[in-house]
């Protein structure tokens, strides 16, 4: 499972950033990049599901992901513009992107009920990983109050999405 | 004419102002506001009666809904917008947000 290992790698980097917090915390430009990337990757996954899935529950979930993460990322873009911050690429964003890329290729080869189950189980895992990063690393490290507040809203959203994904996963069994 | 044309409007206004005080509080439907913020339904009104109106105000950047699980009401709430429903039955009415099913609450309607 190429994908699982790369998600673990991403999780490991995120956890590592957590332990290395005091010495090497991400700066606001990197945090903004990670949060935006995490949202954009989930929008891409949702669009793939909307293109492939025929299951109403899965499609409704995917639609919600696209809608909600687009809303947060629009706010994030407006905020970095206002703060004159240029989001800065970093190993965490790269690991997340790499993991999402291999998952997208894997899903591209699947269809029907197996696609639905894989998409949803990955959504559960993905939201868990990002929740952990937001809670342990990104929110505590953020210096700017507005960025911190947007990340906190992002965490609430990711938690809600994780719970929703877990619910959908149960329904698919 | 016993009542002069200038006196009538004054008398009408006087009665109009007194009227709400004279009518028992339970007879007239009330209007309540529930605020949705940070993916949560805010405090719910306690003394609800059939016929009352609830105005749902969505302060989030996300689309929400207030959807009764028994389908007695359903209102779609775009980001930053409000919508209203009229309570058309009594009892405990559970509701959720259709898009975020872990956002939930229960209205007690007498």
Q: Where are the domains of chain A?
A: 2-11+25-172
- Which residues of chain B are within 8 Å of residue A75 when distances are taken between CB atoms? 61
Q: What pLDDT shows up at residue A26?
A: 94
Beta strand B40-41 with B74-77 is: unpaired
β partners of residue B56:
B34, B83
Quote the CA–CA distance of A50 and A43 in Å, as a whole number.
10
| Per-residue pLDDT band at B26 (split at 50, 70, 90) | low
- Supply B48's token pair: 């609800």
Distance from CA of A64 to the nearest CA of B (A): 6
Integer Rg of chain A from CA: 16
User: Comparing C-alpha atoms, which of A153, A21, A30 is closest to residue A93?
Assistant: A30
Select the residue of A71, A157, A164 nearest B79 (Cβ to Cβ): A71
Find, in chain B, the residue whose alpha carbon is nearest to that of A153. Answer: B38
Q: Are A45 and A119 in contact (CB under 8 A)?
A: yes
Determine, for residues A156 and B38 on separate chains, whether the beta-carbon distance falls below 8 Å. yes
Exposed / middle / buried, residue A133 (Cβ in 10 Å: 0-12, 13-18, 19+) = buried
Size of interface A-B (CB pairs under 8 A): 33
Q: What pLDDT shows up at residue A173?
A: 84
Distance from CA of A1 to the nearest CA of B (A): 31
User: Comparing C-alpha atoms, which of B78, B62, B59 is closest to residue A74?
Assistant: B62
Tell me, which fold does domain A2-11+25-172 have in CATH? Ferritin (1.20.1260)
Q: What is the dihedral of CA B22, B23, B26, B31, to 10 degrees?
A: -100
Helix axes A28-52, A145-172, angle to 10 degrees: 30
Distance from CA of B83 to the nearest CA of A (A): 20
β partners of residue B58:
B36
- Which residues of chain A are within 8 Å of residue B103 when distances are taken between CB atoms? 160
Q: What pLDDT shows up at residue B13?
A: 46
Quote the CA–CA distance of A21 and A77 in Å, as a whole number.
25
pLDDT digits (tens, 9 = 90+) for A60-108: 999 999 999 999 999 999 999 999 999 999 999 999 999 999 999 999 9
| Per-residue pLDDT band at B8 (split at 50, 70, 90) | very low
Quote the CA–CA distance of B101 and B65 in Å, as a whole number.
10
Q: 10-residue block means of pLDDT along chain A (173 residues)?
A: 53 49 76 96 98 97 96 96 95 95 97 97 96 96 97 94 95 90
List the B64-68 sheet strands across, edge first: B74-77, B64-68, B91-96, B104-109
Q: What pLDDT shows up at residue B82?
A: 98
Find, in chain B, the residue whose alpha carbon is nearest to that of A63. Answer: B99
Find, in chain B, the residue whose alpha carbon is nearest to that of A161. Answer: B100
């Amino acid at each position: 499972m190429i994908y699982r290992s790369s998600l673990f790698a991403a999780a490991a980097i995120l956890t590592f950033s957590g332990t290395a917090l005091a010495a090497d915390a991400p700066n606001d430009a990197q945090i903004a990049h990670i949060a935006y990337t995490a949202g954009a990757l989930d929008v891409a996954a949702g669009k793939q599901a909307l293109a492939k899935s025929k299951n109403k529950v899965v499609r409704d979930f995917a639609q919600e992901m696209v809608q909600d993460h687009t809303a947060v990322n629009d706010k994030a873009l407006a905020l970095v513009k206002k703060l004159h911050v240029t989001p800065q690429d970093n190993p965490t964003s790269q690991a997340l992107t790499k993991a999402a890329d291999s998952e997208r290729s894997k899903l591209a080869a699947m269809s029907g009920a197996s696609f639905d189950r894989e998409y949803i189980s990955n959504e559960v895992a993905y939201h868990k990983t990002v929740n952990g990063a937001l809670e342990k690393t990104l929110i505590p490290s953020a210096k700017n109050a507005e960025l911190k507040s947007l990340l906190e809203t992002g965490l609430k959203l990711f938690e809600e999405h994780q719970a929703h994904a877990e619910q959908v996963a149960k329904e698919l069994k | 004419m016993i009542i002069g044309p200038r006196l009538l409007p004054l008398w009408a206004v006087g009665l109009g102002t007194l009227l709400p005080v004279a009518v028992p509080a339970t007879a007239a439907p009330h209007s309540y506001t529930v605020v949705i913020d940070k993916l949560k339904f805010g405090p719910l009104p306690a003394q609800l009666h059939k016929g009352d109106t609830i105005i749902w105000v969505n302060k989030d950047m996300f689309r929400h809904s207030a959807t009764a699980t028994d389908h007695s009401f359903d209102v779609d709430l775009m980001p930053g917008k409000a919508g209203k429903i009229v309570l058309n039955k009594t009892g405990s009415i559970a509701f959720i947000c259709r898009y975020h099913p872990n956002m939930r609450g229960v209205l007690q309607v007498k």
